Amino acid sequence: MKNIAVIGAGTMGNGIAHVFAQNNYNVHLIDISQDAINKGISTITKNLDRLLAKEKITEAIKTQTLNNITSFTSIVEGVKNIDLVVEAATENVDLKLKIFKQLDDVAPQNAILASNTSSISITKIAAATKRPEKVIGMHFMNPVPIMKLVEIIRGYNTSNNVTKTIMELSEKLHKVPVEVNDYPGFVANRILMPMLNEAIETLYNGVAGVYEIDTVMKLGMVHPMGPLQLADFIGLDVCLSILNVMYDGFKNPKYAPCPLLVNMVQAGKLGAKSGEGFYDYSTSKKAEIISKQFQ
């Protein structure tokens, strides 16, 4: 397994492409937008420069990593002669089903099709193909170049051989793969998202403010980042999407998203990527609390 296609040049996609390329795999980075690809390559370059400044890589490794990446704006062209596709598109079930149906038609028959989905059923995604035994979840954590965990999600029909191959591949990327079964939210988000949602409910109910909630969790629970700042970092639209998937999947009200989260997403306050969420990222002061909005 040497040739890897990554679909989506956004936050997760460019991180996944970076990790494969730095470990000397040939990477096809695919996005429908050339601007998105350019932005993704720019992010990879900046992250490599940070590693270079910290003397964790050499200039030669940086150059080789970038040389290992070829960009495409066509899935058909981008998946020729590849061994593995990792889909990292927007967390939207209809979009993912459409992509996997197309991949099944154009990717080599021996290619493994993986999704970086953080909540959507791998079994459902696999059902859009004629090779469900070759479909698997490969859920990287953000930021991909730094975080060690990869959730490996087996669909109902995922073969033992494909699972073993992806587990071993993850280790070659210097990651720690953990195999989990295919239920909404898997393990990471099934535990994390209700906690973030409860933090938002705590704010919504006026129990405490943004700073107070995050400080309690950082100092009292030894979390490196408070839940509201973490939600901003993930993206409030992504949090909402994952909660909706779990709520639809389990029909359990404990997964119902907080009205404040829904309203913020509808208002375009998506967190760090939009410049504003529970914190203000638009000024020179990073993560400045928007206190007036929540008083």
**For range 232-261, the mean pLDDT:** 95
**For range 256-272, the mean pLDDT:** 97
| Whether 118 is catalytic | yes
Instruction: Write the single-letter amino acid at 74.
Output: S
Cα end-to-end distance, the chain, whole Å: 54
- 145-149, 207-211, 222-226, 283-287: segment of lowest average pLDDT: 283-287
pLDDT reading at 176 higher than 80: yes
Write down the pLDDT at residue 282: 83
Write down the pLDDT at residue 290: 53
- HEC profile of the chain: CCEEEEECCCHHHHHHHHHHHHCCCEEEEECCCHHHHHHHHHHHHHHHHHHHHCCCCCHHHHHHHHHCEEEECCHHHHCCCCCEEEECCCCCHHHHHHHHHHHHHHCCCCCEEEECCCCCCHHHHHCCCCCHHHEEEEEECCCCCCCCEEEEEECCCCCHHHHHHHHHHHHHCCCEEEEEECCCCCCHHHHHHHHHHHHHHHHHCCCCCHHHHHHHHHHHCCCCCCHHHHHHHHCHHHHHHHHHHHHHHHCCHHHCCCHHHHHHHHCCCCEHHHCECCEECCCCCCCEECHHHHC
> Alpha-carbon distance 180 to 190, whole Å?
12
Write down the pLDDT at residue 293: 46
**For range 122-136, the mean pLDDT:** 98
pLDDT band at 291; cut points 50, 70, 90 = very low
Confirm if 79 and 28 have CB atoms less than 8 A apart.
yes
**For range 42-70, the mean pLDDT:** 97
Tell me the whole-structure pTM to 2 decimals.
0.89
- Give the whole-number percent of the chain exceeding pLDDT 70: 96
pLDDT reading at 233 higher than 60: yes
> Alpha-carbon distance 146 to 270, whole Å?
23
pLDDT band at 292; cut points 50, 70, 90 = very low
Indicate which residue of 87, 91, 151, 276 is catalytic.
151
| Whether 291 is catalytic | no
- 55-69, 88-102, 138-152, 275-289: segment of lowest average pLDDT: 275-289
Confirm if 22 and 61 have CB atoms less than 8 A apart.
yes
| Whether 151 is catalytic | yes
Indicate which residue of 118, 119, 197, 274 is catalytic.
118
Write down the pLDDT at residue 11: 92
155 token code pair: 């669909």
Confirm if 265 and 236 have CB atoms less than 8 A apart.
yes
Q: What is the pLDDT of residues 265-280, one digit of tens each?
A: 999 999 999 999 999 9
Indicate which residue of 14, 47, 139, 274 is catalytic.
139
Write down the pLDDT at residue 286: 52
**Residue 181 burial (C-beta neighbours within 10 Å; 0-12, 13-18, 19+):** exposed
Residue bearing the bigger pLDDT, 34 or 291 = 34
Residues 6 or more apart in contact with residue 85 via CB below 8 angstroms: 4, 5, 6, 7, 79, 103, 107, 111, 112, 113, 114
CA–CA distance from 2 to each of 20, 30, 195, 204 (Å)? 9, 17, 39, 49
Indicate which residue of 47, 71, 189, 274 is catalytic.
189
**For range 143-164, the mean pLDDT:** 97
Average pLDDT of every residue of the chain: 94
> Alpha-carbon distance 30 to 50, whole Å?
24
- Neighbour tally for 260: CB within 10 Å: 17
CA–CA distance from 89 to each of 59, 68, 275 (Å)? 30, 21, 21
